[in-house]
Structure 1
Amino acid sequence: MGIKLENVGIAVRDLDETIAFFTDLGLEVVGRDTVSGEWADTAVGLDGNHAKIAVLQTPDGQGQIELFEYLHPDAIETEPVLPNEIGMHRIAFSVDDIDEAIATAARHGCRPLRGVADYQGVYRLSYLRGPSGILVMLAQELQKD
């Protein structure tokens, strides 16, 4: 059986705000839609499912995220996940310049949880809270083999 990762889906409070954050980091919107109807109810498992969605892609074309803002049923607010909680954890991106990426995130009110770490001179890494409390890891490779 063949398998490949299609995308990672993330429910958000404000679709446009979240798109602005991820496009400023360098992702590109490759599709937007509003979905509802019996097929959406069946696929997602929610009666009356109605959501605005957007699919964003990394510049290399290898990774996609699907963002969705629920119109119905009402979105349920939860506490943002902590790095050590079981369940959906974070989304991670390789970046060419972590300082520039953090500055871009800061323009959206998103700052590192603690700072930037150096992992054995190989990577500079940082976790930050994106829109809707999404944990985002940024990683800059320092050594190229």
Structure 2
Amino acid sequence: MSISLENVGIAVRDLDEAIVFFTDLGLEVVGRDEVRGDWADTAVGLDGNHARIAMLQTPDGHGRLEFFEYLHPTAIETEPTLPNEIGMHRVAFAVEDIDAALAVVARHGYGPLRGVADYQGVYRLAYVRGPSGIIVMLAQDLRVTAG
């Protein structure tokens, strides 16, 4: 049996805000739609499912995020997750220049949860809480940029 990751789905408060944030980081929109009907109810397991969706992918085409903004039923607000909570934790991206990526994040009013960490001189890492409380990890491989 062959298996590959198709995408990671994330419910957001504001689809357009999520699109602007993640495209500014470098992802590309590959599709947008509004979904509803029996097929959507069956696929998601939610009666009356009606959502605006967008599929974004990394420039290399290997990573995809599907964002959805529920129109019905009403989205349920929860507290943002903490780094040690069980469940969906974070989305991680390799970046060429973490300082440049953090400058993009700052333009949207966000910043690192605690700063930029150095992992044994190999990686510079930062966790950022972005739109709808999504935790985004940015990782710069120093071996790539040093060589």
Question: Where does 1:1-145 land on structure 2 (aligned, <5 Å)?
Answer: 1-144=1-144
Q: CA RMSD in A?
A: 0.8
Following superposition, the deviation at residue 110 of structure 1 comes to 1.1
Cα shift readout 1:22-53 (whole Å, capped 9, x = no counterpart): 00000000000000000000000110000000
Q: The residue matched to 2:143 in structure 1 has which SS?
A: coil
User: C-alpha separation between the residues in 1 aligned to 2:32 and 2:109?
Assistant: 24
* Structure 1: segments with no counterpart, 5+ residues: none
Equivalent residue letter for 1:78: T
Equivalent residue letter for 2:57: Q
* Structure 2: segments with no counterpart, 5+ residues: none
User: C-alpha separation between the residues in 2 aligned to 1:106 and 1:129?
Assistant: 11
Q: The residue matched to 1:143 in structure 2 has which SS?
A: helix
User: How much identity, in percent, do the aligned residues show?
Assistant: 79
Q: The residue matched to 2:34 in structure 1 has which SS?
A: strand
User: C-alpha separation between the residues in 2 aligned to 1:25 and 1:2?
Assistant: 31
TM-score by length of 2: 0.97
TM-score by length of 1: 0.98
